[in-house]
Structures are given as C-alpha cells and as structure tokens.
Amino acid sequence: MGIGLSLVCGLCHALNLSNAYLSKRNAERAVRAKTQYIILHTTEAEATSSLRKLSRNGEAHYCVDRNGKVYRIVDRRKVAYHCGTSMWSGRKNIDEVSIGIEVVGYHDRALTAAQYTALKELVLLLQKLYSVKDANVMPHAQVAYGTPNRWHRRSHRGRKRCGMGYATPAVRKLLGLKERWLSDPDVKARRLTVGDAFLSQILYAKNADKLLPYKLPAMGAKSSAPAVVVKSSVPLKQAIATASAALPVKKQQRTVVIRKGQTAWDVAREAYNAASTIYVFPDGKRIHGDQLTDWESLVAGTKVILGDEADAPIQTLAAGIHPKALVGDAVMAADTWYIRPTGGRIQGSRLTEKSLKALPPGTKILTGYAMCGPVTSRKLPSTLCPSRWDAPDTYYLFPGKPLQSAAQIDMKRVPAGTYIFYKN
Ligand SMILES: [Zn+2]
C-alpha cells in the first residue's frame, strides 16, 4: 500500500492529492502508536517556501495549498514534527499522538474557499480512519505552550497563534465540525497559565467569530481546485527519490516592526533570543537574538527579522543575571537542564540556591526537556529517543563539546557518551 489515503479513496472525491513534496525524512520516522488528535496549522508563509521547509524537515503530514491541492509530506502513520512544545489534558508532546495538517496562509487572514473545502474533506477522511472526535480537531495554538521565560514566570498557553481561527464556531461550521472545547483543561488544572488573553478569547469565547480579524470567504463558489482523484500509486521510496530530495534550501524570513508598548516576546515569541532572529535598531545597528541582553532597550521602530527556526527554547545565562530572571519558576525543575560552556550538565532539581548563583555566564538553559543517553555502539539516538531524536528542537551534548541542535550534527557521527535532550 502507498502512504496515503488510497485505502479509503472512495471518500476523497474532492481531494486533489500530490506526492511532489514527500519528505525524505519519512524513512527515519517512528510509527505513531496512536492517533487522538488532528492538529491544524497555518504556514505563516507563501506556498513554495512553506512546502520546501515542511518537506525538508518533515514537519507535517499534509499541506493544503491556496487552490485546495493537498500535498503529502510525511506518511500519515508516522510521527511528524508539527506541534513543538505542546500539551493537552496533561498529555505532552502531541506530535506522538496526532496528525498535523498545514494550510498555506496566516493565522490572522482568511483561507481561500478551496482550502476550507479541501480541509473539510481531508479532516473528515482522517477522522473516519482514526476515530477522532470533532472536538479533538484543534488549531496548533490551542495545544502549543511555552516554558517559563523572561516574560512568563510559569509555563503558559499562548506560545503561538498558529491556526487560531480553526477554533471559532464560524470556521468549524465551514469544516463540518460540531463540538469544540469550551475551556482549556490545562489552564483549569493549573498546569498552565494564560499567556495570551486574546488567543484565549478566540479559542473559547462565545462571540469568538466577531473577534476574528478577517471575513470568511463566501462558500459554494466554484473551487479552483480541479476535482481529480490522484491515487497513491507511486511507491513511497520511489516518490521520495524523485520528488523533494534535491530541493534547494531557502531561508524563510519575515520582518516585523516593534510598535510602542510591545516587547520582543510580543513579536518574536519563543524565537526572541534565537540566533536566527535579528534586531535592526532605528540607527541601523543589527544584533542577533542570542547576543542581545538589554531587552528594555528595544524601542518602537526596531525591526525584527525572524528566521525559520520554529522554536528557540534555549536561554543563555549572561553575567550578573540570575537564572530565575530567565526561566522563572522552572529554575529548579526536574525538566530544566543547565549545560555549562565546557559541556557539563546539571538537572535543575539537583541545584541549590548557592549552586544556582555559581553557574558561569554562557551556561545554556533548557526548560521542559527530558534527557536520554548515553549513546553507545548498541544504543543509537534513534533507539534511545525514538520519537524526537532528529527533531529541530532536540539537542545533543557530545562529550566535552558545547550543546548542538539536532539540525547541526551529522547523525552518522554521534560519539559514544553523547546525551540527548528532547522536548517532553
Ligand atoms: Zn503550527
């Protein structure tokens, strides 16, 4: 059988499916043990750069283009990395139990009629295949959460607004979804705080439709997607070899300007201190996110160039700064890890007030992470950490070396004694 929906293609009469962007990451991904959720995203970029990035990193199972054409990215049975730091009803790492659908578009703009139509078909099909109930078809913004940082002492909902509109009654109606969640179970149980009040309104308020910053397209207009059934007749391996294997790597960037009263968090979210985020001050001075320390100096008019690093959960300790200022209440948590510049690792729960203060500048801090290892000749990263060993937010600590992201290293050359840190 192919990787796609051929099993039930009797249903997918209106779906126009393509294998042109199948990810070469498919071969290495673990098979999902169960599927409880369907998570809907907006790519926040145009089609070509979105599809290339999704395919390169294996970041979704499907991507719906403006004309309603659906691209398969990752085999729907396998794990795709689309949720990042995520939690729902106390369950973390939603990638392990969900299918991710990216839709070319933006969280604060309407999708096309063709996209809503195709998405409705695709979601219905997947709901039938995996018995996912309507309420569990959710936007990414609903399940993403942020670990403590400079602006939030506690873990919080509101790390992203990705796909927020999908939670509103009006959009759910277009998608044929009846039930929706009426409150956030993780906020209710005090696992999370509300980090974005506006998002919370969009997700749960009765009048959420009125708060949406856009108008929905008139449906019933003839979709521009040709209603062709493309069966999954191309074998996976062959399709990957001929399709996306040699796609050029193009950086995806977006520029926003800081307005009066806004902080770096407001515009860049978790990427505020990423090396790939560049701040261009009104006087022309440019500083990368990982080099900036004086966050209060960000004046209105500062341009922020956001790279394509989805999440940048690492904090770097600067001289004279207490770790608490960076990671709030997570400072001594068991899922907080401190990596010294020379390579040593310390778990937050093992630190004392005194040893916290003694951490040297340049120490990297990971929050919401679990550790596995050490790597040996028999225990490879893919064995030790099957669901996230090559995720973009997974980090490797080679013996005696500084921390490196999974994207930076050659997976064939991971030395024995390496520890792996993954979002948990
Ligand atoms: Zn998303």
- At residue 247, the pLDDT reads 41
pLDDT of residue 397: 95
Task: Kindly state the tokens that stand for 203.
Answer: 């997700």
Q: For residue 18, how far is its CA from the centre of ligand 1 (angstroms)?
A: 21
What pLDDT, on a 0 to 100 scale, did the predictor assign at position 8?
47
CATH class of 6-242: alpha beta
Ligand 1 centroid, distance to 132 Cα (angstroms): 19
Measured in angstroms, how far is the CA atom of residue 284 from the centroid of ligand 1? 32
Q: What is the distance in A from the centroid of ligand 1 to the CA of 149?
A: 20
Q: Determine the Cα–Cα distance for residues 218 and 353; give it in Å rounded to an integer.
A: 60
Question: What whole-number distance in Å separates Cα of residue 175 and Cα of residue 127?
Answer: 12
Nearest CA to 82 out of 71, 97, 70 is that of 97
Question: Residues lining ligand 1 (ion), CB within 5 A?
Answer: 41, 140, 162
Using the mean position of ligand 1's atoms as its centre, give its distance from the Cα of residue 43 in Å: 7
- The string over 13-51, giving b where at least 16 C-beta atoms fall within 10 Å of a residue's C-beta and e elsewhere, is ebbbbbbebbbbbbeebeebeebbbbbbbbbbbebebbb
- In the reported structure, the alpha carbon of residue 28 is separated from the centroid of ligand 1 by a whole-number distance in angstroms of 22
Per residue in 321-363, pLDDT (tens digit) is 889 888 888 899 999 999 998 888 999 999 999 999 889 999 9
Calculate how far, in angstroms, residue 49's C-alpha sits from the geometric centre of ligand 1.
Answer: 15
Nearest to 55 by CA among 185, 309, 218, 248: 248
Ligand 1 midpoint to CA 305 (Å): 19
Quote the ligand 1 centre to 208 CA distance (angstroms).
20
Q: What pLDDT is recorded for position 408?
A: 82
d(CA 101, ligand 1 centre) in Å: 9
The CA 374 to ligand 1 mean position distance, Å, reads 32
Nearest to 221 by CA among 123, 116, 108: 116
CA 144 to ligand 1 centroid distance, Å? 8
pLDDT, tens digit (0-9, with 9 covering 90-100), for 269-294: 777 877 778 888 888 888 888 778 77
Q: How far is the CA of 285 from the centre of ligand 1 (A)?
A: 31
- Where do the domains of the chain lie? 6-242, 254-306, 314-423
Give the residue ranges of DSSP H helices in 189-234: 197-204, 208-211
| Distance from Cα 143 to the centre of ligand 1, integer Å | 10
- The pLDDT value given to residue 298: 83
Structure confidence at residue 226 (pLDDT): 43
pLDDT on residue 2: 42
What would the two tokens of residue 132 be? 């996912």
Contact present, 199 and 181 (Cβ < 8 Å): no
Query: Hey, what amino acid is at 312?
Result: A
Token pair 């100096």: residue: 297
Cα 379 from Cα 342, distance rounded (Å): 25
Q: How far is the CA of 323 from the centre of ligand 1 (A)?
A: 29
Interval between CA 98 and ligand 1 midpoint (Å): 13
Give the sheet arrangement for strand 278-280, strand by strand.
Answer: 254-257, 303-306, 278-280, 286-288
State the distance from the centre of ligand 1 to the C-alpha of 322, rounded, in angstroms. Answer: 32
Cβ atoms of residues 414 and 372 within 8 Å: no
pLDDT of residue 67: 95
Q: What pLDDT does 309 receive?
A: 53
- Expressed in angstroms and rounded, the spacing between residue 139 Cα and the centre of ligand 1 is 8
Q: What is the pLDDT of residues 92-125, one digit of tens each?
A: 999 999 999 999 999 999 999 999 999 999 999 9
Cα of 99 from ligand 1 centre, angstroms: 12
pLDDT, tens digit only, all 424 positions of the chain: 344 444 444 444 568 999 999 999 898 899 999 999 999 999 998 999 999 999 999 999 999 999 999 999 999 999 999 999 999 999 999 999 999 999 999 999 999 999 999 999 999 999 999 999 999 999 999 999 998 888 888 999 999 999 999 999 999 999 999 999 999 999 999 999 999 999 999 999 999 999 999 999 998 755 444 444 444 444 444 544 444 433 443 445 678 888 888 888 888 877 787 777 888 888 888 888 877 877 877 888 898 888 765 555 688 888 888 898 888 888 999 999 999 988 889 999 999 999 998 899 999 999 889 999 999 999 999 889 888 888 878 999 999 888 888 888 888 899 999 999 998 7
Determine the pLDDT at residue 308.
Answer: 60
Going from the Cα of 359 to the center of ligand 1, the distance in angstroms, rounded, reads 35
